[in-house]
Chain A
Amino acid sequence: MAEPPLPTPRLEATLRVDEERLPDILRRSIDFGCRPVVTKQDDGTVTLPIIATASQLEELREAGYSVQLIETPGGIDYGVGQGDRFDGGRTAPRGFGEKTGR
């Protein structure tokens, strides 16, 4: 069976807006992460990271927003298990807490 097509790759960017315009930006259908992370800057603006396609970023620029692309550090191995370390349930995981007073 053919693999279904993948979604358009998305980029990460930092959006900088005047604080009064924050509600306007939150109204746009943008991916802000699980919840928006808004950081107040000293110059009265706020910044928030967003995830968007290249064309969505272009639309934001055209609407007058300051958009700075985040250079994502390539090559980071976030590390996902390949096989099954628990052997289908024949091995139990061990917690990371230190067991005390036994």
Chain B
Amino acid sequence: MTYLNVVEVESALAGLAAAYPTLCQLVSLPNPTIEGRSTHALQIGDVSADAVLFTACAHAREWGGAEICIYFAADLLEAYTAHAGVAYGGKSFSASTVRRIVDNLNVVVYPCVNPDGRAFDQLHDALWRKNRNPASSGGDPNRVGVDINRNHDFLWDFRADFAPGATSTGTLASDDPGSDLFHGTAAESEPETRNVRWLLDTYRFTRWYVDIHSYTGDLLYSWGDDLNQSDDTTMNFRNPGWNGQRGVPGGYAEYIPAADLTTAQGAAQRVVDAINAVHGGHYVSLQSVSLWGSPGAVTYPTSGASDDYAYSRHFADCIKGRVFAFTLEFGYATSDFRTSFHPPWPDMQQIVLEIDAGMFELCAAAAPSFRWPWIVLFRRLWPWQIWDPLARFLDPIVRQILGAVRSRAQGSQR
């Protein structure tokens, strides 16, 4: 066995879709890559159910995410068809859990967000991170590519949105095409980024999202731009009054509802526990902005990252559902980068078992044991294309009325 090349990633998905035609379907992503590659996702289960989305390989050199997704999908489909459970080392899932996931959930895997980068890195062993867009390179091979995980539409304009102290960090993002963190010429300028957004738009009942990377052995939950706080609702990424103040210690902290934080932390811990149960690993869960794992110490603020974008959507647009989003960093640091990013295949195979157990655990947590038939029917029949613009139009009016009613009620109390 070996890692999959980019052709095999596509043919593996096609193979699963052909082998299990009643359980899953191949989904064509709308935006071909700069080098003209078309990509696919695999959608398993009922599209009207709550969805769990897994994406991987936005960073080219972090090869194993594709295999993690593909072999997870293969296990799920094979076990369901055989009325079987699945065991990964010390962690197992019963046949009824497998059945519940496929029957009551919509599982979407998109194993290779950035196939151009993967193909380049697998061919040239270049420790390549970005995509292969040459538009901003001026012909210099050292300035090719955009970091997909800095190109999402979340505080993308880092020079305006973050404090000057944060903009000078090498971790936030960069407007220098020579940097590995080059964020592109606009938010969602890259086809790879737009494909991830398309999945979130298309599967509107997505409730959970995991973007798979390597390697630090952790599962990161929102936010990634600054420390979390749950007290001041006005201190948030949409408020331009806080522009120029984010991403440095003290002052600004990003608002997250306390209940959301509890949910995200609980789910992250559950996934980490499942991963660690396979071989006795030591994965940890922490807030995305943490570098040390202890809030308040040195932080690692990011702009335009996938997890923050996915979680931010429902705050920014009333028709978007709430998506609990995570970045999963599989594997641990070894003595050199190549072996850390893409361990020799026998080691990677063990990592696949661990992370697949974590993915199963998240799906098991997300899948309800029962779905009300009228909700299923409603989700299928409701004219969303008419409703969405109407809801966007009505939202500020309703808010204004509610605000006026509230202030009048407060006034009469006084």
Chain B residues with Cβ below 8 Å from A78 are: 3, 63, 338, 342-345
Chain B residues with Cβ below 8 Å from A100 are: 84-87, 92, 95
Out of B14, B92, B353, which one reaches A89, CB within 8 Å?
Answer: B14
How many A residues face the partner with a CB closer than 8 A?
53
- Cβ-based interface call for B153 (8 A): no
How many B residues face the partner with a CB closer than 8 A?
86
Out of A29, A30, A51, A84, which one reaches B8, CB within 8 Å?
Answer: A84
Chain A residues with Cβ below 8 Å from B76 are: 95
Chain A contacts with B in 1-39, Cβ cutoff 8 A:
4-8, 10, 12, 22-23, 26-38
Is B72 touching A95 in the complex (CB atoms < 8 A)?
yes
- Cβ-based interface call for A70 (8 A): yes
Is B11 touching A73 in the complex (CB atoms < 8 A)?
no
Is A92 touching B180 in the complex (CB atoms < 8 A)?
no
Chain B residues with Cβ below 8 Å from A29 are: 170, 174, 176, 178-179, 181
The binding surface of chain A is classed by DSSP as loop
Out of A6, A35, A80, which one reaches B122, CB within 8 Å?
Answer: A80
Chain A residues with Cβ below 8 Å from B337 are: 12, 33, 49, 51, 70, 72
Identify the closest chain A residue to B82 (Cβ): A102
Is A92 touching B142 in the complex (CB atoms < 8 A)?
no
Chain B contacts with A in 143-188, Cβ cutoff 8 A:
144, 168-171, 174, 176, 178-181
Given the known inter-chain contacts A10-B127, A27-B169, A100-B92, please indicate yes or no for A93 contacting B344, CB distance below 8 A: no
Is B336 touching A73 in the complex (CB atoms < 8 A)?
yes
In Å, the complex CA distance between A31 and B134 comes to: 19
- Cβ-based interface call for B404 (8 A): no
Chain A residues with Cβ below 8 Å from B8 are: 81, 84-86
- Cβ-based interface call for B234 (8 A): no
Is B341 touching A32 in the complex (CB atoms < 8 A)?
no
In Å, the complex CA distance between A95 and B238 comes to: 43
Query: Which of B's residues lie within 8 Å of A, judged by CB?
Result: 1-5, 7-8, 10-20, 59, 62-63, 70-76, 78-79, 82-88, 92, 94-95, 122, 124, 126-129, 134, 141-142, 144, 168-171, 174, 176, 178-181, 213-216, 291-292, 298, 300, 329, 333, 335-345, 349, 352-353, 356-357
Query: Which of A's residues lie within 8 Å of B, judged by CB?
Result: 4-8, 10, 12, 22-23, 26-38, 49, 51, 70, 72-73, 76-82, 84-102
Q: Considering the complex of A and B, which 10 residue pairs feature the smallest CB-CB distances, nearest first?
A: A89-B14, A95-B75, A79-B2, A92-B19, A92-B15, A95-B74, A86-B11, A97-B86, A102-B84, A99-B84
**What are 29 A-B pairs with beta-carbon distances under 8 A?**
A4-B141, A5-B141, A7-B126, A7-B141, A22-B298, A23-B169, A29-B178, A30-B170, A31-B127, A34-B341, A35-B300, A38-B291, A70-B336, A73-B336, A77-B344, A78-B3, A81-B4, A81-B8, A86-B14, A86-B15, A88-B14, A92-B18, A92-B19, A93-B71, A95-B356, A99-B84, A100-B95, A101-B95, A102-B82
